[in-house]
Amino acid sequence: MRNYKNIFANFSLPTYSRLGPLFVKGRGSWLWDSQGRKYLDLFPGWGVSILGHSHPRIAKVLGEQARRLVHLPNNLFSAEQALLAREISKRSFPSKVFFGNSGAEAIEGAIKFSRLYGQNKRFEIITFKNSFHGRTFGALSATAQKKYKECFRPLLPGFREAEFNDFGSFKRTLSKKTVAVLLELIQGEGGVNVADKNYVRQLRKYCFNKNILFIVDEVQTGMGRTGKLFCYQNYGVVPDIMVLSKGLGAGVPISALVVRKKIASIIKPGMHASTFGGSPLVSRAALEVFKILEEEKILKNVAKLGKHMRDRAASLAKNTPVIKEIKGEGMMLGLELDIPSYPVFLKALGKGLIVNSTHDNILRVMPALNSTVKDIDKGFNILEDILSAF
């Protein structure tokens, strides 16, 4: 392992603080390191690996597709991409889809689409305090958290920040130039903050009346995480644009910009593109994800395990006063601690459990959606051990 650490130190741009062992294998909710030690991963792939590690059906279709056709440029037709676009549209709202490779790339697409929609007259996008939309320049400019942006100014102009869950603040942030609102219905990186139902409905209605695009960033909340296929479906609203990534490919890099059909045709050939976007390989994997979600009744499991996670968290909070609040929805859980969460994350890793520390004092748990009660219980037992010692 030391050897690999040296190679990283010498040859990788130091953008990440990596730690822990060298992982060599994953299956379901488990990872194995090079010494054969097992780790329970309750934050697989940072929200990407919704079906756990190396789901056999994903492995199988990737193998088949790799032997048939891996890549095709986007000026040619592939069945896989067409079927995936149709699947997303059928499962969400009447829409047309553009494929990219990462969450940030799809956010960039949403920003460009908004600019186009505003016809050079309206170009401002309202985003929300503590949001996170990615690291590319547009996505970073949209991210309303100083710590990510400080070193990179000047950023892209045209973003205004409103308080989350505060309609009055939104109204005060509006201007004649507002063309869109970009919202995470549950802020993930920003601390697992759940948008209030009435607030979202009010916001949606206002946007509709004023011809402002209502864009939801479902990079983290999409693909079943909250118990519905898409989180907006919990709110009784329909967005104009939805951005998907992470769980869409359950591990392969893919993102989707999903635009309401009625407005989709304002974008014309040549205005936007992505060389790798929606290749036959990744599209085939994403199609299989939809099938697995259905056939393995994953949303039912999310409802059951989501409740179980909350119950476990609630009893943990009773016995461990360091837990201040339990936040989240479905299988997206944030434990707000009154101590920093990073040392807890480190202790958990030492005990063979992977969770996540975000926003200073939030412990984030986002297990694979096909986990079992046994996995969850094992993880919570370890957390109980750690947290009761504080």
Query: In angstroms, what is the minimal distance from the CB of 265 to ligand PLP?
Result: 26
Query: In angstroms, what is the minimal distance from the CB of 132 to ligand PLP?
Result: 5
What torsion do the CA atoms of 164, 166, 168, 169 make, to the nearest 10 degrees? -20
Nearer to ligand PLP, 52 or 188 (CB): 188
Can you give the binding site for ligand PLP, defined by CB under 6 A?
Answer: 102-104, 107, 132-134, 184, 188-189, 217, 219-220, 245
Query: In angstroms, what is the minimal distance from the CB of 317 to ligand PLP?
Result: 25
Angle (deg, nearest 10), helices 298-319 and 280-295: 70
Nearer to ligand PLP, 194 or 219 (CB): 219
Nearer to ligand PLP, 118 or 188 (CB): 188
Residues 6+ apart with CB under 8 A from 299: 224, 227, 228, 229, 293
Paired sense of beta strands 241-244 and 213-217, if any:
parallel
Cα separation, 28 vs 387, whole angstroms: 26
Cα separation, 271 vs 269, whole angstroms: 6
Query: In angstroms, what is the minimal distance from the CB of 100 to ligand PLP?
Result: 9
Query: In angstroms, what is the minimal distance from the CB of 104 to ligand PLP?
Result: 3
Query: In angstroms, what is the minimal distance from the CB of 47 to ligand PLP?
Result: 7
Query: In angstroms, what is the minimal distance from the CB of 305 to ligand PLP?
Result: 21
Phi, psi torsion values for 162, nearest 5 degrees? -115, 160
Nearer to ligand PLP, 142 or 281 (CB): 142
Cα 251–Cα 277–Cα 190 angle in degrees, nearest 5 = 55
Eight-class DSSP state of 247: G
Cα separation, 95 vs 84, whole angstroms: 12
H/E stretch holding 99: strand 95-100
Q: Nearest residue by C-beta to ligand PLP? A: 103
Nearer to ligand PLP, 140 or 386 (CB): 140
Phi, psi torsion values for 56, nearest 5 degrees? -60, -35
Nearer to ligand PLP, 98 or 380 (CB): 98
SS3 content of the chain, % helix, strand, coil (to 5): 40, 20, 40
Nearer to ligand PLP, 102 or 226 (CB): 102
Query: And the tokens for 355?
Result: 């969770």
